[in-house]
Structure 1
């Protein structure tokens, strides 16, 4: 079992819509520190399976991490989706779920910048966390476009209405219902988004909505660096079923880079084999490096290249500006120079 996995008790289950529930988790005092999170992050949940032992799915947290709110994830049924239907049908107050610690990097660094937020369906979950955080902790104004099939499928409808009443000068919401307006396309979205094109934008929803919104923003001249997308991607590997790495260092071979790593205040000097990814090297040497998915999706293993140069095999979470500043993903990084210095906890 993954060393970052914990069993937590379900405190409550809230029926948000006929197809979506919010699962409220209760944390013991000793686990609270392990589940500190930032707005826009997610939990990876283990769902039992008779065929494979378990499957793993990621669900975004919807609360304000700076307030004493319960840890809550929201799950919407997916047609033919095993995990979402199992959670909606089987989880009740008192159930126990196995979850990984919070991961991901989707949200503003501060709470004072004006934002444009775009959500469709269950994509509202991480967006809701951003809304609550900015309104409670900063001065930024928010414009939200929220698309759903119809009013009855609108997750957090009551909470959004209440937040609008509490912050009428700072929160503007434009609802889009497909039953009335059809599926949103790039042309229509361009008109709606034009007044807010100068704002940093955070976008989450189904692939079709994301593509239409991204096209509209590009047409308005919004730089890619100002558009932040949270994509729901399936994990190719199950982090709950992976064996723990050996604490015995593997043989480095005859060729490798001289690697120095700083993590948790300690420095380690290692040999980094040319074709071995950084995360695997560190785990093989018994170094407790943060990671979850090993697939470049979650961003948990991000680190800073202070000296030398690395290259990533894949990247689904780091924007270009972060890479330009020297950040990389340990799970995808290979050495590109003979001497490299990597620092975590940046």
Structure 2
């Protein structure tokens, strides 16, 4: 394989309390990464993906930021139990919520493509990483609209103020507080976008927030290829309703043990495995992180979405099982031990 999609032990060097319910974990992790990417953490028998708040262009430390989620298994465990010196298991950084290459800007007579970002709550995490890299590594102007419940909930307020002071001509942030201004509206989104219809737009936050912003931008004349959305949930079109009868068979090898399952039409390998009561690895379910990677050793398959594997890996038969579907009556899929 061209990349290592396994888990690696990394030590927490320090913890920063950003807000009452948000902490940044500084990790002793010498991983190369791009601004806007995330790592997947293995804890409590499950997996969760968290974005980096650090930037490879500006920070010497590797940082990921975690907001406590009511009822959240991993976020609550991390907040309640982890301390400096503890070790956690993470994947290598992954994800495509990154600055477009070739937009460094800055040649004589050239106008830098603006970066315009909308974030809700902890969605500021990858946006901060992107902003720091764009400002330090390119000539691009950056504008951020950060929506939060109230002033106490604003994450990275000081870091954003520092960027505004350091780059007064290229960086601007607007804080939208729900308790004072009500929920963000489509008109406010379009007003913030203004005339920058050729900018690159980055969206991260709760699903209803991103849906509102994305639809507002599209009606404002922004083309879809200019809109980049970070989702840690299924993004593919829903599959057709599964037929009750068996459509084929899937032999799934998990921890070295083969399981032969009835594969239904329109069902991914991961869905088939979970329906049978198995618990293979997965995280984002959006085709972004490669946590669910396995190799097709017999039969053929296709993927609905692939934002994690390169062409050589696909040619070798590797597949994202959260996105993989059979194209032959029988398929054998082997997970890494």
In the superposition, the TM-score normalised over structure 2's length comes to: 0.70
1:25 aligns with 2:27: yes
SS for the counterpart of 2:10 is strand
In structure 1, the residue matched to 2:47 is 56
Alignment of 1:237-256 (within 5 A): 243=254
Instruction: Say which of 75, 79, 87 aligns to 1:84.
Output: 75
Deviations for 1:58-78, whole angstroms, at most 9, x for unmatched residues?
000111123452111101111
In structure 1, the residue matched to 2:125 is 125
Instruction: Say which of 20, 28, 37 aligns to 2:33.
Output: 37
Whether the 8 Å contact between 1:104 and 1:300 is mirrored in structure 2 is: no
Alignment of 1:103-252 (within 5 A): 103-110=94-101, 112=104, 113-233=113-233, 243=254
* Aligned mates of 2:290, 2:7 — CA distance in 1: 14
SS for the counterpart of 1:134 is helix
Deviations for 1:97-154, whole angstroms, at most 9, x for unmatched residues?
1111111111113352311111110001111110010111110001111111112111
The root-mean-square deviation of aligned C-alpha atoms, in Å, is 3.5
Runs of 4+ aligned residues of structure 1 deviating over 6 Å after TM superposition are 326-329, 334-337
Whether the 8 Å contact between 1:299 and 1:329 is mirrored in structure 2 is: no
* Aligned mates of 1:136, 1:317 — CA distance in 2: 26
Q: 1:234 to 1:45 in 2, by over 3 A?
A: farther
Whether the 8 Å contact between 1:63 and 1:129 is mirrored in structure 2 is: yes
Q: 1:220 to 1:3 in 2, by over 3 A?
A: closer
Gaps of 5+ in 2: 105-112, 236-252, 259-266, 270-280, 294-299, 329-337
1:298 aligns with 2:298: no
Shift of 1:185: 2.0
Whether the 8 Å contact between 1:43 and 1:60 is mirrored in structure 2 is: yes
Q: 1:294 to 1:336 in 2, by over 3 A?
A: farther
In structure 2, the residue matched to 1:94 is 85
Shift of 1:294: 8.8
Q: 1:317 to 1:11 in 2, by over 3 A?
A: same
Shift of 1:88: 1.1
SS for the counterpart of 2:195 is helix
Whether the 8 Å contact between 1:38 and 1:65 is mirrored in structure 2 is: yes
* Aligned mates of 2:194, 2:318 — CA distance in 1: 35
Q: Which moved more, 1:101-110 or 1:326-335?
A: 326-335
Gaps of 5+ in 1: 49-53, 236-241, 249-274, 278-290, 303-308, 338-346
* Aligned mates of 2:187, 2:225 — CA distance in 1: 22
Whether the 8 Å contact between 1:47 and 1:56 is mirrored in structure 2 is: yes
Whether the 8 Å contact between 2:18 and 2:24 is mirrored in structure 1 is: yes
* Aligned mates of 1:131, 1:141 — CA distance in 2: 9
